[in-house]
Amino acid sequence: MFAELWISLTESLVRLGDIVRFLLRVLGQVPRALPRFQLIVDQVYNAGSLSLVIIMLSGLFVGMVLGLQGFELLQRFGSEEALGTAAAIGLVKELGPVVTALLFAGRAGTALASELGLMRATDQLSAMEMMAVDPVRRVVVPRFLGGVIAMPLLAAIFSMIGIYGAQLVGVQIMHVDSGSFWSQMRASVDLKDINEGIVKSCVFGVTCSLIAVYEGYHATPTAEGVGAATTRTVVTSAVVVLFLDYLLTAFFL
Amino acid sequence: MEIPRGRVSAVMGPSGTGKTTLLRLITGQVRADAGSIRVAGASLAELSRDELYALRRRMGMLFQNGALLTDSSVFENVAFPLREHTKLPERVIRQLVLTKLQAVGLRGAAELMPSELSGGMGRRVALARAIVMDPEILIYDEPFAGLDPISMGVILRLIRRLNDALGLTSIVVSHDVHEISSVADVVYLLSGGSVVAQGTPQELNSSRSEIVRQFVGGLADGPVPFHYPAPDYFGELLARDGDH
């Protein structure tokens, strides 16, 4: 059993090394990909705008649940007015970046991985190489950057809508005082909290986009291969995001 | 093995004999474990990535399934190499693309998407894309696979016409013996990873070699056996369960 554990550990390390090397290759091609700005804008649209509906809906519901649970908990201490603070801190620092990253991996990450995997399976990537066009520069980098740019924006929108959702439940339904909801939030959420959320969503953006393009680009060129790459994208992204979230939270304390 | 300049050379052989690997070697997509490959005077093993890309600009390749970019129109597919490698004004790109599409008879299909094309049409578009940078070498990977007889005839005619009109060196990998015989100047027959016969199509047709006769005649059994290697037939049938 220890032997198996050892093998899977070394395999994971090899894969991690592979992903890091791929990241370096992608980053190396970024300067040469930047002049084709329109390609990147297209991908921000693909990864960002097309994920908007799911992000906004989820943000609203997460915020509403937070409002309900938060109210119920804070009421025990007679401090319902702190609901605004609790919801805002929870969303901006944790739920916004993390849930957005998980949704992003499921919506945009899988789309990226299967698109690249199919391009691999239908020889489109080889055809580009034969036309002396580096597929990493032409196809991978714009998709990677699109995800990296879209993620923090999506997380911000998620948090904003989430706070609105918490307000909807807390103030409109549970009748927390509207003035203290907003003023306590403004008084106790400071720039450091916002920064933590921004850093997290940027790191998650790089992570999820990288895993998606890596898995897609290296997919086995068969139907099963593309399916497996898509699955691995979601699973790996989720685990890595939650792990990194712990590290980053510890770092910011 | 030598591919003569300005001619149509065919590489034939049974499936799994290394034809596609040979193409990948010639185009530098994989590196040779042993031996050397020289293309246009340059040894592939010694080229850097940039030099290899420079060499590839002088080659065009037609993939087995066309390998068109599925998210762009026929026009944009053919324009792709021009947009990537040149800074030509839009008007010139348009003229170049339309001339190449005219050469393969698909100028009228310029605005269609790859998913709207038949197999034969897709391959002709890919051919137009392969010649849009005016390559010196044109490589076809199984250009007839899965085509109806009319599309096959069209591709055959294009291979010959493009080779002669543009002064290309063409390499065709295929196992369609009769089609290839009508178009190739030189034929190499591969089997088991090595060249077993070479010559003009006529020479191959009259060859006495058993493997050549099996391949050209399409015989089911011969030097390439009908049966995949297996243990003794009766022994395996009579064996009791769990005795494999």
Residues A122, B56: C-beta atoms closer than 8 Å? no
On whether residue B135 sits in a domain, the answer given is yes
On whether residue B234 sits in a domain, the answer given is no
B59 touches chain A (CB under 8 A): yes
Residue B139 tokens, joined: 């490589």
**pLDDT classification of A145: cutoffs 50, 70, 90:** very high
Residues B27, A130: C-beta atoms closer than 8 Å? yes
pLDDT one-digit tens code per residue, A106-137: 999 999 999 999 999 998 998 998 888 999 99
C-alpha A163, offset from chain centre: 19
pLDDT one-digit tens code per residue, A65-96: 999 999 999 999 988 889 999 999 999 999 99
Using DSSP, state whether B145 is helix, strand or coil.
coil
Round the average pLDDT of chain B to a whole number and report it: 85
Q: Residue B94 is part of which domain span? A: 12-201
**pLDDT classification of A97: cutoffs 50, 70, 90:** very high
Using DSSP, state whether B27 is helix, strand or coil.
coil
Residues of A in contact with B54 (CB under 8 A): 132
A124 touches chain B (CB under 8 A): yes
Interval A48-56 mean pLDDT: 93
Task: Write down the pLDDT at residue B225.
Answer: 75
Looking at the DSSP bridge assignments, the partners of residue A164 are none
Task: Write down the pLDDT at residue A219.
Answer: 94
Looking at the DSSP bridge assignments, the partners of residue B169 are B137
Residues B65, A123: C-beta atoms closer than 8 Å? yes
pTM of the complete model: 0.86
Residues of B in contact with A127 (CB under 8 A): 61, 63, 67-69, 126
Task: Write down the pLDDT at residue A158.
Answer: 96
Query: Which CATH number do you get for residue B154?
Result: 3.40.50.300
Using DSSP, state whether B172 is helix, strand or coil.
strand
| Option in B29, B56, B63 nearest A132 (CB) | B56
Of B167 and A106, the one with more pLDDT: A106
> Closest residue of A to B51, CA-based?
A132
Looking at the structure of chain B, the number of domains it has is 1
Question: How far is residue A12's CA from residue A140's CA, in Å, rounded to a whole number?
Answer: 23
CA angle B227, B232, B236 (to 5 degrees): 110
> Closest residue of B to A36, CA-based?
B84
The percent of residues in chain B predicted with pLDDT above 90, rounded, is: 16
pLDDT one-digit tens code per residue, B89-133: 999 999 999 999 998 888 999 899 999 998 888 988 998 999 898
Number of Cβ within 10 Å of residue A79's Cβ equals 14
User: How close, in Å, is residue B52 to chain A by CA atoms?
Assistant: 8
pLDDT one-digit tens code per residue, A151-165: 999 999 999 999 999
Using DSSP, state whether B42 is helix, strand or coil.
strand
**pLDDT classification of A206: cutoffs 50, 70, 90:** very high
DSSP string, A138-201: IIIHHHHHHHHHHHHHHHHHHHHHHHHHHHIIIIIIT---HHHHHHHHHHH--HHHHHHHHHHH
User: How close, in Å, is residue A44 to chain B by CA atoms?
Assistant: 16
On whether residue B239 sits in a domain, the answer given is no
Task: Write down the pLDDT at residue B244.
Answer: 54
> Closest residue of B to A121, CA-based?
B67
B30 touches chain A (CB under 8 A): no
CA angle B160, B161, B165 (to 5 degrees): 125
Residues B67, A133: C-beta atoms closer than 8 Å? no
ipTM: 0.81
Residue among B229, B203, B206 nearest B217 (CA): B206
Round the average pLDDT of chain A to a whole number and report it: 93
Task: Write down the pLDDT at residue B54.
Answer: 86
Task: Write down the pLDDT at residue A69.
Answer: 94
| Option in A127, A134, A138 nearest B67 (CB) | A127
Q: Which residues contact B67 (CB under 8 A, 6 or more apart)?
A: A122, A123, A124, A126, A127, B126
Task: Write down the pLDDT at residue B243.
Answer: 57
Residues B67, A126: C-beta atoms closer than 8 Å? yes
| Option in B53, B64, B126 nearest A132 (CB) | B53
Residue B128 tokens, joined: 């137009």
Residues 60-119 of A with CB under 8 A from B: 118-119
- Is there a contact between B131 and B103 (Cβ–Cβ < 8 Å)? yes
A134 touches chain B (CB under 8 A): yes
pLDDT one-digit tens code per residue, A9-19: 998 899 899 99
For A161, counting Cβ atoms within 10 Å of its Cβ (0-12 exposed, 13-18 middle, 19+ buried), the class is buried
B47 touches chain A (CB under 8 A): no
Q: Which residues contact A63 (CB under 8 A, 6 or more apart)?
A: A87, A91, A161, A162, A163, A164, A165, A166, A167, A168, A169
User: How close, in Å, is residue A102 to chain B by CA atoms?
Assistant: 27
**pLDDT classification of B53: cutoffs 50, 70, 90:** confident
B53 touches chain A (CB under 8 A): yes
On whether residue B214 sits in a domain, the answer given is no
